[in-house]
Amino acid sequence: DPRIAGIRPERLTALATREAKRFAASRPKTRAALAAGSQHFLDGVPMHWMKDWPMPFPMLVAEAKGAALTDLDGYGIDDFCLGDTGSMFGHSPAPVAKAIRKQARHGLTYMLPTEAALAAADLLTQRFGAFQWQIATTATDANRFALRVARAVTGRPKVLVFNGCYHGTVDDTMVALHDGQTVARPGLVGQISDLSQTATCVEFNDLTAVEAALASGEIAAILTEPVMTNSCMVLPDPGFHAGLRDLATRNGAVLIIDETHTISSGLGGYTAVHGLVPDMFVVGKCVAGGMPTAVWGMTADLARRFAAYDAQRPAGHSGMGTTLSANPMQFACLRATLAEVMTAKAYARMEKGAARLAKGLSRVIAAHQAPWHVVRVGARVEFICAPGPLRNGAEAAAAHQPQVEAALHTALLNRGCLIAPFHNMMLISPATRTRQIDRLIAAFDEILTELFA
Ligand code: PMP
């Protein structure tokens, strides 16, 4: 069967070709601006992955508010990408914008804390639990620093990660499982060290493999998302997280939960909603309403162990920290977000909208008898162009259909709906309107009608 994700190849090609042309033809201003100004960037984009959006050239954003963007050519776009979670609570939430305006008059960075920092720490503990907090600027850095602490207190070399994971550009986690072996992922630029010396990769939902890896005595930490969100979404089996907790405790490994995406689950993230018990907790992206900020915290017990390590550590750089981290603007935004934006009320709206979207997309998929499925984790919804549920990273990788996804994303954008690139993720913010959700469902239906009818 030559069909791709259930679609006849010629239909897919026809859609992809037409939609790419339509995108390009309808954006003369964007094209002219890029032609005039993109040559000073390496490869024409400020971040290399901006080339990886599926459109023929990037969309230039003129304006963003709530859950909508306006592009340079004046099109109003419903934004379900929301900066891949950075803007999960909507673009420029009013309390955050106000906090920025206020702080802007009082300095942007000075390497010293503020009263807002103290208030933010209190709010972090109220929201996420009794952890001893540190501030970073990206979730990547927060994970890197958490791993340093885990290695320091355990004296062990390796991090255990799951095949198909993503925790930012943390070198140690850029591994995959290949024929049962931990290997560096293909494509890493300038990778010289042997990552299998510092990481072990096993499949998600495979407690037997986790146990075997821990038995080596080399594992300092298990680093995991509660749900795998960075491939096609994979939900944990019942008992998986309890098993991880138990195995980590019995083998003296640190359990690090990365909530950077699963913060969509509800107030306090998946950890609070599902009662996980991590030793370290990491969240970034939306935690300060879109101001680059990440937080990482450790339990009091781990903090005591780290203090003992720290006391006998030779003088010198810790290898943790960046100059602009924990700056007053971050704290102003963190406090505003935690106190006024990331609220139970906001999550209730997000949850309701996401349930509507998931139901609508599932209905469309069923109506067209597409061999696809939908997964939802609170405000995060994903359609997957393969049958489900998926149980691990290998299955998620096999379910990924880049060609179908690229055509679909461009077709959705031409119908006014932006979804996250690289997978099929959609987020519902508190600002997302019902009519935006319904427009996305209708656009999805129109496209599937063409592909499957
Ligand atoms: N952790 C998870 C679970 C993520 O999804 C990401 C980014 N997609 C990161 C960490 C890294 O975040 P950042 O790019 O802000 O460093």
139 Cβ inside 6 Å of ligand 1: yes
Rounded to an integer, what distance in angstroms lies between the CA atom of residue 197 and that of residue 386? 34
- Nearest atom in ligand 1 to 284's CA: 15
pLDDT (tens digit, 9 = 90+) per residue, 154-205? 999 999 999 999 999 999 999 999 999 999 999 999 999 999 999 999 999 9
* Cα–Cα distance, 139 to 288 (Å, whole number): 12
**Per-residue model confidence (pLDDT) at position 453:** 85
Banded model confidence at residue 376, pLDDT cuts 50, 70, 90: very high
**pLDDT tens digits along 98-150:** 999 999 999 999 999 999 999 999 999 999 999 999 999 999 999 999 999 99
Residue 7 confidence (pLDDT):
98
DSSP letter (8 states) at residue 285: G
Atom of ligand 1 nearest to the CA of 84: 8
Q: Is the CB of 374 under 6 A from ligand 1?
A: no
Q: How high does pLDDT run on average in the chain?
A: 97
Q: What is residue 60's DSSP assignment?
A: P
Q: Indicate if ligand 1 lies below 6 Å from the C-beta of 166.
A: yes
Model pLDDT for residues 46-62, shown as the tens digit of each residue:
999 999 999 999 999 99
Angle separating helix axes 402-414 and 9-25, nearest 10 degrees: 40
For 9-15, the CB contacts below 8 A with 24+ separation are 11/450, 11/451, 12/403, 12/404, 12/407, 12/451, 15/407, 15/411, 15/447, 15/450, 15/451
Question: Would you say residue 425 has pLDDT above 90?
Answer: yes
Residue of the CA atom closest to atom 12 of ligand 1: 139
What residue's CA is closest to ligand 1, atom 1? 167
- Ligand 1 lined by 282 (C-beta under 6 Å): no
DSSP state letter for 388: S
Q: What is the mean pLDDT of residues 73-97?
A: 98
| Ligand 1 mutation pick, 147, 165, 166, max ligand atoms within 8 A of CB | 166
Distance CA 59, CA 55 (A): 8
Please work out whether the CB of residue 261 comes within 6 Å of at least one atom of ligand 1: yes
**pLDDT 10s digits, 290-322:** 999 999 999 999 999 999 999 999 999 999 999
**What is the distance between the alpha carbons of residues 203 and 397, in angstroms, rounded to a whole number?**
12
Task: Please tell me the distance from the alpha carbon of residue 58 to that of residue 44, in angstroms, as a whole number.
Answer: 10
Q: How far apart are CA 353 and CA 376, in angstroms?
A: 11
pLDDT band at 274 (very low <50, low <70, confident <90, very high): very high
Structural domains of the chain, ranges and CATH numbers in brackets? 9-79+344-452 (3.90.1150.10), 94-341 (3.40.640.10)
The amino acid at residue 365 is I
Whether 422 has a pLDDT exceeding 90, the answer reads no
With b meaning 16 or more CB within 10 Å and e meaning fewer, what string describes 402-413?
ebbbbbbbbbbb
Let me know: does 236 contact 227? Beta carbons within 8 Å: yes
Token readout for 390 is 């998926």
